[in-house]
């Protein structure tokens, strides 16, 4: 009985981990959130300034888990990845706002919205050279 | 107590608290917790992080000896939805004694996996604290400041072991955090349920962050206020016969993992002390669990 229970727990936790590892959070984002755009628009100067501020916020708040080089630490995922490069600004803003607490990512609602958008600008700038980032479809995953 | 002695007592304790702050180490991080002493928000400790905090309180209640209370808190983020915390408490009363008053173990759980317009957190605590406790971490039942007139030696004999539950509700509007706590406490002996509440609101002083590294940017400061008090017992439910405190708070997060929160809390009825002076310093150790991983 105990062995069956143990195996069941192992199976369930593996399933949950695999579900989390495939970017399942992307499927929880509504179309409205996915389509949100950055308040900094496409102005390169504004985006550069926002990314610089986002870099400070990243080092202060995010680097402890994701590494100061944003390449991840242990089981904490990298911020520079194909999945992040393919996510829209709205997706990233949603992730910062809601987090993924059941998988370890806390929500960052305590940061004002503008600071969260600055973080999005920085994360976007980190992923500019990621393979396939130029062909980012920005389409909502089905 | 002569005024000069009172002042030196305050100064000594505040310097001790500041010394503790300065002795803490260094790395980078800003804490994202709102600047509350009593009220809990939906912000939990980041998973794997260990926060050590010292919370100091000083008051000179009318018709009672001035006291200084200290609480040491160890808070650990077990997962993204579960934070556990351990408290050790003690106090010094002038013309009386310095005593250890007890401990608390608490757990907070976030039941929902997304952010909503109201974000609930469930809180469960076990406390083993004697009646001499002067930490004011919450107020439940019919708490009155006149009880502090009794000598520590008598108060410490009455140990209260109780289970406490809180419903924490937190929401955000225009960057302002609003948090409401509803407290229910039951002594494990045959005493009635006691109730209390705490309400808080706060926000960061800056909407956007600065692109340069700065120590005293507005983004490093947050300000707010809180109100807390008792709601009587199951048989005496209400605002009467219990104390109520309200006051502003301000927090400063350094670039070295350290957050300092300070503020006075004013008693708003005759059952309360005139003012509680509070100073809290918390330091966060990042990803403590990485120290125990095999491959580093």
Please say if the pLDDT value at position B134 is more than 50: yes
- Whole-number average pLDDT of chain B: 88
State whether B32 and A108 contact (CB < 8 Å): yes
Is position A141 within any domain?
A: no
Q: What is the DSSP code (8-state) at residue A24? A: G
Closest residue in chain B to residue A73, using alpha carbons only: B290
Q: How far apart are CA A24 and CA A102, in angstroms?
A: 12
Instruction: Give the pLDDT band (50/70/90) at residue B67.
Output: very high
- Cα(B195)–Cα(B142) distance, rounded to whole angstroms? 9
Beta bridge partners of B50: B76, B285
Beta carbons of B209 and A54 less than 8 Å apart: yes
pLDDT at A4: 65
Put simply, whether B204 touches A (Cβ < 8 Å) is yes
Percent over 70 (pLDDT), chain B: 88
d(CA B11, CA B30): 28
Task: Look at A115 and B209 and tell me if their CB atoms are within 8 Å.
Answer: yes
The reply to whether A89 falls in a domain is: yes
Interchain pair A115, B219: CB under 8 A:
yes
Query: B184-196 pLDDT, tens per residue?
Result: 999 998 889 999 9
Burial class of residue A60 in the structure, from the number of CB atoms within 10 Å of its CB (0-12 exposed, 13-18 middle, 19+ buried): buried
B170: closest CA of chain A, how far (Å): 11
Sequence spans of domains, chain B: 3-292
Under an 8 A CB cutoff, do A98 and B255 touch?
no
What is residue A16's predicted lDDT score, i.e. its pLDDT? 47
The number of beta carbons lying within 10 Å of the beta carbon of residue B3 is: 7
Confirm if B75 and B45 have CB atoms less than 8 A apart.
yes
B28 with A108: Cβ contact below 8 A:
no
Inter-axis angle of helices A113-126 and A44-57, to 10 degrees? 100
Q: Give how far the C-alpha of residue B165 lies from the chain's centroid of Cα atoms, to the nearest Å.
A: 16
Report helix, strand or coil for A135: helix
A112/B207 CB distance under 8 A: yes
3-state secondary structure labels for all residues of chain B: CCHHHHHHHHHHHHHHHHHHHHHCCCCCCCCCCCCCCCCCCCCCCCECCEEEEEEEEEECCCCCCCEEEEEEEEEEEEECCEEEEEEEEEEEECCCCEEEEEEEEEEEECCCCCCCCCEEEEEEEEEEEECCCCCCCCCCECCCHHHHHCCHHHHCCCEEEEEEEEEEEEEEECCEEEEEEEEEEEECCCCCCEEEEEEEEEEECCCCCCCCCCCCCHHHEEEEEEEEEEEEECCCCCCCCCCEEEEEEEEEECCCCEEEEEEEEEECCCCCCCEEEEEEEEEEECCHHHHHCCCC
Asked if the structure places residue A14 within a domain, the reply is yes
CATH (domain of A89): 1.10.760.10
The torsion of the CA quartet B13, B16, B17, B18, rounded to 10 degrees, works out to 120
Q: What pLDDT, in 10s, does the model give residues B102-128? A: 999 999 999 998 889 999 999 999 999
- Cβ separation of A110 and B43 shorter than 8 Å? yes
**Closest by CA position to A111, among listed A102, A123, A98, A121:** A98
What backbone phi and psi angles, to 5 degrees, belong to A21? -70, -15
The CA distance from B60 to B64, in Å, is 7
Q: What integer pLDDT is reported at residue A132 of this predicted model?
A: 54
Q: To 5 degrees, how large is the angle CA A64–CA A65–CA A71?
A: 105
| d(CA A125, nearest CA chain B) in Å | 14
Contact map slice: B 130-189 vs A, CB within 8 A: 172, 175, 177
Q: Which residues of chain A have pLDDT under 50?
A: 14-21, 134-139, 141-142
Q: Do B49 and B32 contact (CB within 8 A), yes or no?
A: no
**What's the CA gap between A127 and A125, in Å, rounded?**
5
Task: Tell me which residue of B120, B61, B126, B127 sits closest to B94, measured CA to CA.
Answer: B61
Q: How far is A102 from chain B (nearest CA, A)?
A: 6
Q: What is the pLDDT of residue A101?
A: 87
Does A142 map to a domain? no
pLDDT range class, residue B45, cuts 50, 70, 90: very high
Using pLDDT thresholds of 50, 70 and 90, give the confidence band for residue B2.
low
Contact A53 B209 (CB under 8 A): yes
B75 touches chain A (CB under 8 A): no
- The encoded tokens of residue B76 equal 């650990």
Q: What is the ipTM of this complex?
A: 0.81
Tokens of residue B48, six digits: 């794997």
Interface-testing mutation among A51, A63, A109, A121, with chain B (most B C-beta atoms within 10 A): A109
Structural domain including A23 reads 2-135
Interface of A with B (CB under 8 A): 28, 49, 52-57, 59-61, 63-65, 73-74, 97-115, 118
Q: Yes or no: say if B6 and B66 are a contact pair by the CB < 8 Å rule.
A: yes
Q: Which CATH number fits domain B3-292: 2.40.160.40, 3.30.70.20, 3.30.360.10, 1.10.8.350?
A: 2.40.160.40
- Check whether B3 has a pLDDT greater than 90: no
Distance, in Å, from the CA atom of B33 to the CA atom of B46, rounded to the nearest integer, reads 10
Number of domains observed in the structure of chain A:
1
Q: How many angstroms away from the CA of B247 is the closest CA of chain A?
A: 21
Nearest to B55 by CA among B195, B270, B263: B263
Residue B221 near residue B205 (C-beta atoms within 8 A): yes
């Amino acid at each position: 009985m105990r062995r069956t229970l143990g195996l069941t727990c192992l199976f369930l936790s593996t399933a949950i981990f695999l579900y989390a590892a495939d970017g399942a959070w992307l499927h929880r984002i509504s179309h409205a959130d996915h389509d949100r755009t950055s308040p900094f628009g496409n102005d390169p100067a504004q985006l550069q300034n926002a990314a610089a501020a986002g870099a400070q916020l990243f080092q202060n708040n995010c680097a402890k888990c994701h590494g100061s080089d944003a390449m991840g630490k242990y089981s904490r995922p990298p911020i520079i990845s194909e999945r992040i490069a393919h996510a829209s600004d709205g997706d990233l803003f949603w992730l910062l706002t809601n987090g993924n607490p059941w998988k370890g990512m806390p929500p960052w609602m305590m940061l004002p919205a503008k600071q969260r958008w600055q973080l999005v600008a920085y994360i976007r700038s980190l992923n500019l050279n990621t393979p396939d980032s130029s062909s980012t479809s920005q389409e909502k995953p089905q | 107590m002569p005024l000069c002695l009172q002042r030196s007592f305050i100064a000594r304790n505040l310097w001790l608290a500041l010394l503790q702050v300065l002795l803490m180490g260094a790395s980078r991080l800003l804490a994202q917790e709102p600047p509350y002493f009593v009220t809990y928000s939906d912000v939990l400790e980041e998973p794997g992080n260990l926060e050590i905090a010292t919370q100091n309180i000083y008051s000179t209640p009318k018709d009672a000896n001035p006291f200084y209370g200290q609480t040491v808190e160890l808070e650990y983020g077990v997962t993204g939805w579960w934070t556990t915390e351990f408290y050790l408490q003690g106090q010094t009363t002038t013309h009386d004694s310095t005593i250890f008053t007890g401990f608390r173990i608490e757990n907070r759980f976030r039941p929902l996996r997304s952010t909503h317009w109201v974000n609930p957190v469930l809180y469960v605590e076990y406390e083993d604290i004697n009646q001499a406790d002067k930490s004011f971490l919450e107020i439940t039942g019919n708490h009155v400041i006149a009880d502090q007139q009794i000598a520590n030696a008598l108060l410490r004999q009455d140990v209260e072991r109780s289970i406490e539950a809180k419903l924490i509700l937190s929401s955000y509007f225009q960057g302002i955090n609003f948090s409401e706590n509803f407290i229910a406490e039951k002594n494990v002996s045959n005493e009635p349920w006691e109730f209390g509440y705490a309400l808080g609101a706060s926000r960061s002083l800056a909407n956007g962050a600065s692109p340069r590294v700065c120590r005293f940017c507005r983004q490093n400061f947050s300000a707010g206020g809180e109100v807390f008090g008792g709601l009587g017992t199951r048989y005496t439910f209400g605002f009467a016969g219990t104390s109520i405190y309200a006051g502003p708070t301000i927090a400063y997060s350094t670039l070295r993992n350290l957050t300092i929160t300070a503020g006075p809390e004013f008693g708003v009825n005759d059952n309360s002390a005139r003012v509680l002076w509070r100073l809290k310093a918390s330091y966060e150790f990042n990803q403590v669990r990485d120290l125990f991983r095999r491959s580093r």
